[in-house]
A and B are shown apart, each in its own frame.
Chain A
Amino acid sequence: MSVLVIAEHESGVLKPETAKVVAAATKIASHVTVLVAGHNIAEAADHSAQIAGVQKVVAVDDASFAHQLAENTSELVVELASDFSHILFSASTTGKNIAPRVAALLDKSQISEIIDVIDADTFKRPIYAGNAIATVKSLDSQKVITVRASAFDAADTQAACDIEARSQSIASQVSEFVSIEQTESERPELTAAPVVISGGRGMQNGENFALLNGIADKLGAAIGASRAAVDAGFVPNDMQVGQTGKIVAPNLYIAVGISGAIQHLAGMKDSKVIVAINKDPEAPIFQVADYGLVADLFDALPELEQAL
C-alpha cells in the first residue's frame, strides 16, 4: 500500500495542513509520496520533502496548475493515481474542490473529512454537523479521502527526501482563473492559530468586532465569527467558524456573544480549552465551555484586554 498526499500551498508557500495530512497518511501506510502541483513551487516542494514520513516528493511546476483549478489538477492526479492505494487531500476549500472530481474520474466513492484512521479501509468522520461520528469502511480498491487537518497533529520534520520534478501541462478549455481577493490580515489564519477569539450576534454590528482586536493582538489570536454574525452581515464569511465555515481546534477558543448553535459547535468543540462570555446564563455555549463568564461583553472585553 502507498499513499499519495496532495500538498496544500498558497502561492508556492506550503501550508501547515500538509504536515497534518501526512500524519494521517502515515497511519494508513508507510509509503507516502507528496504531490506538489502549481507554479513556482520550489519552496513548497523543499518543505514537503522535510516532513517526516515522506519518501518522495513529486513536483509538477507549470503555469497550467498555477491556481490549482480543479479541472486541471484533477486530471494530473488521475494520471499519477495508478501507483497508489490511497489519495489524500486536506479538507480545505482547495482539497474539497478537487478531490471529488478525482474520485468521480477514478469511479471511486470518496470519504470526506476523516478525523481518525482505524485501518487502511476504515475511518471515522463526523456527520450531521458533528452530532454523530460515523465509522465507515471503504469497499473500493482505491480510496480518495479528504482529511480534517485539525484532527491530526502535524508530522515532525526529517532530513529532506528526494524530489522528482515532472514536467506536465494540462490546459483546460473550460475554466480560467480571473482574480483572487485575499483577506488582508496580520493575524494567523483561523485554522492554524493557537488561539481563536470569535464574536457572535451579541457583537451587535461589524464595528464592535474591533473590541476583539486588542485581545487578539495580546494573545496572537485569529478572529472568527459565528454564522449568525456572518448572516447578519457583520463580518465576511471567511471568518465563519462552524459546520458551514471553518473547523478549528486551537489550544484556546474564546466565544464572545455566541449562543452556541449546533452548527457553530461543530466548528470549534474540539478546541482544547473553551471560554464563553455571554450575558445569557442559559446559552448552550456554556455546556461545552471549560470556563464560562456571564457578563455583558461590552464590559467584559475591555476588562479582559486590560487584564492580559
Chain B
Amino acid sequence: MKVLVPIKRVIDYNVKARVKPDNSDVDLSNVKMAINPFCEIAVEEAVRLKEAGTATEVIAVSIGDKACQEQLRTALALGADKAIHIESDAKLESLHVAKLLAKIVEQESPELVILGKQSIDSDNNQTGQMLAALTKRAQGTFASKVVVDGNKLQVTREVDGGLQTVSLSLPAVVTTDLRLNEPRYASLPNIMKAKRKPLDVITADSLGVDLAPRIELVKVEEPAKRSGGVMVESVEELVNKLKTEAKVIS
C-alpha cells in the first residue's frame, strides 16, 4: 500500500504569533518554523504502517516556497521514502491546496492519504475533507486509531462527546488527531540518510490548477485583551468575590 503524507511548514507551536503593526498579517519574519504538529503525527502513522509491513512506500509532499524542503527533509528523516516539493510563492487557501494535492493523488495513486486535521497557523481544518471530496474518496477525520483490514480501513474518530468508529473502503483519506500516536525524534544517522533520499521539485503552475484567491485578507488584529484581574488571598475571599462582585455563583 502506497501512502501519501501532505505536510505543512508553520510557525513553531511554542512561538507566540505577533500581528504586524500595519495590521496586514501576522509577522513571520525571523520566527522559528517547524513541521505542523498534526502533520508530524501523520508522518509517524505512515511510517508505522510501513514498519508493520502494511505500507510499501511513504511519500511526503509539501507546497510552498523553497524553505518547506526543510520540513520535507524532516519527514524523510522520520522515515518517509521520498518527497515531492510543489513550489509556489502564492498565498494558498485550503481549496487550492486540496486541488494541488488531488493532482498528486492522480499521479501517484496512493491507497491512503494521511494528513493533519488542521494547521496551527490558519486553523482551517479543511484540506483533508476537501481532498477526499475532490478525489471522491471516503474520509476518516480526527483519527485517534487507524487499522488496516484488507481493503477496508477502520478509523476511530474523536468526536464531541466520544469516539466514533467508521469503516472506509480504500482508497481513503484520513486526518490525524492528537492522540493517534506520539511522533518519534529523528536520529542523527537518519537525518544524514534523509539528505540522500529523493526530493522532487515541481512547480504549482505545472499542475494546471486555478490558484486565484477566493478570500481576501482585509486585516489582522490582536485579540481584545482581558483586563488584568485581582489576586485573592484565600478560598474564602475567592468565593465571596464570585458571589458578590462577579455574581456568577449564588
User: Which of B54-62, B82-90, B241-249 lines the interface with chain A?
Assistant: B241-249
The 0/1 profile, CB within 8 Å of A marked 1, for residues 125-156 of chain B is 11111111110111111101000000000100
With a cutoff of 8 Å between Cβ atoms, the chain B residues found around residue A137 in the complex are: 215-216, 218
With a cutoff of 8 Å between Cβ atoms, the chain B residues found around residue A214 in the complex are: none
Q: Are B132 and A109 in contact (CB under 8 A)?
A: no
Q: Are A174 and B172 in contact (CB under 8 A)?
A: yes
Chain B residue at minimal CB-CB distance from A181 = B163
CB under 8 Å from chain A, chain B span 26-78: 26, 38
* A contact face: mostly helix, strand, loop, or mixed: mixed
The interface centre, meaning the residue of B128, B139, B177 with most chain A CB atoms within 10 A of its CB, is: B139
The yes or no answer to A126 lying at the interface (CB within 8 A) is yes
Considering the chains assembled together, what is the distance between the CA atoms of A292 and B231 in angstroms? 5
With a cutoff of 8 Å between Cβ atoms, the chain A residues found around residue B161 in the complex are: 10, 182-183, 189, 238
Considering the chains assembled together, what is the distance between the CA atoms of A92 and B162 in angstroms? 13
The yes or no answer to B123 lying at the interface (CB within 8 A) is yes
CB contact between A243 and one of B123, B133, B235 (< 8 Å): that residue: B123
CB under 8 Å from chain B, chain A span 169-202: 172-183, 189, 191, 195
With a cutoff of 8 Å between Cβ atoms, the chain A residues found around residue B235 in the complex are: 293, 295, 300, 303-304, 307
Tell me whether A100 and B126 are in contact in the complex, defined as CB-CB below 8 angstroms, given that A70-B139, A131-B223, A178-B154 are known contacts: yes
Q: Are A293 and B95 in contact (CB under 8 A)?
A: no
Considering the chains assembled together, what is the distance between the CA atoms of A146 and B118 in angstroms? 14
Separation in Å of the B87 CB from the closest CB of chain A? 22
Q: Are A291 and B246 in contact (CB under 8 A)?
A: yes
Considering the chains assembled together, what is the distance between the CA atoms of A136 and B219 in angstroms? 7
Chain B residue at minimal CB-CB distance from A175 = B138
CB under 8 Å from chain A, chain B span 100-123: 118, 120-123
Considering the chains assembled together, what is the distance between the CA atoms of A273 and B229 in angstroms? 10
Tell me whether A174 and B215 are in contact in the complex, defined as CB-CB below 8 angstroms, given that A113-B123, A131-B17 are known contacts: no
The 0/1 profile, CB within 8 Å of B marked 1, for residues 282-295 of chain A is 00001111111111
The 0/1 profile, CB within 8 Å of B marked 1, for residues 194-217 of chain A is 010000000000000000000000
Q: Are B120 and A287 in contact (CB under 8 A)?
A: no
Tell me whether A127 and B226 are in contact in the complex, defined as CB-CB below 8 angstroms, given that A67-B164, A237-B144 are known contacts: no
Considering the chains assembled together, what is the distance between the CA atoms of A187 and B195 in angstroms? 53
The yes or no answer to B179 lying at the interface (CB within 8 A) is yes
Chain A residue at minimal CB-CB distance from B165 = A178
The yes or no answer to B186 lying at the interface (CB within 8 A) is no
* B contact face: mostly helix, strand, loop, or mixed: mixed
Considering the chains assembled together, what is the distance between the CA atoms of A243 and B231 in angstroms? 26
Considering the chains assembled together, what is the distance between the CA atoms of A140 and B219 in angstroms? 18
With a cutoff of 8 Å between Cβ atoms, the chain A residues found around residue B139 in the complex are: 70-71, 97, 101, 175
With a cutoff of 8 Å between Cβ atoms, the chain B residues found around residue A126 in the complex are: 123, 223
Q: Are A288 and B226 in contact (CB under 8 A)?
A: yes
The 0/1 profile, CB within 8 Å of B marked 1, for residues 113-149 of chain A is 1000000001000111111111111111000000000
Separation in Å of the A265 CB from the closest CB of chain B? 9
With a cutoff of 8 Å between Cβ atoms, the chain B residues found around residue A246 in the complex are: 160
Separation in Å of the B230 CB from the closest CB of chain A? 6
The 0/1 profile, CB within 8 Å of A marked 1, for residues 88-102 of chain B is 000001110010000
The 0/1 profile, CB within 8 Å of B marked 1, for residues 95-115 of chain A is 011111111110111111100
The yes or no answer to B208 lying at the interface (CB within 8 A) is no
Considering the chains assembled together, what is the distance between the CA atoms of A273 and B246 in angstroms? 7
Q: Are A122 and B241 in contact (CB under 8 A)?
A: no
Q: Are A100 and B217 in contact (CB under 8 A)?
A: no
Closest 5 CB pairs of A and B: A109-B214, A100-B129, A128-B17, A174-B138, A104-B130
Q: Which residues of B contact A (CB under 8 A)?
A: 11, 13, 16-19, 26, 38, 93-95, 98, 118, 120-134, 136-142, 144, 154, 157-169, 172, 177-179, 213-223, 226, 228-236, 238-239, 241-242, 246, 248-249
Q: List 24 A-B contacts (CB under 8 A).
A: A93-B158, A96-B125, A101-B132, A103-B126, A104-B134, A112-B124, A127-B121, A127-B122, A128-B120, A130-B223, A133-B223, A174-B172, A175-B140, A175-B166, A180-B163, A180-B165, A243-B120, A244-B178, A287-B228, A290-B246, A293-B232, A293-B233, A300-B235, A308-B249
Q: Which residues of A contact B (CB under 8 A)?
A: 10, 67, 69-71, 74, 92-94, 96-105, 107-113, 122, 126-140, 172-183, 189, 191, 195, 219, 227, 230-231, 237-238, 240, 243-244, 246, 251-252, 262-263, 269, 272-275, 286-295, 300, 303-304, 307-308
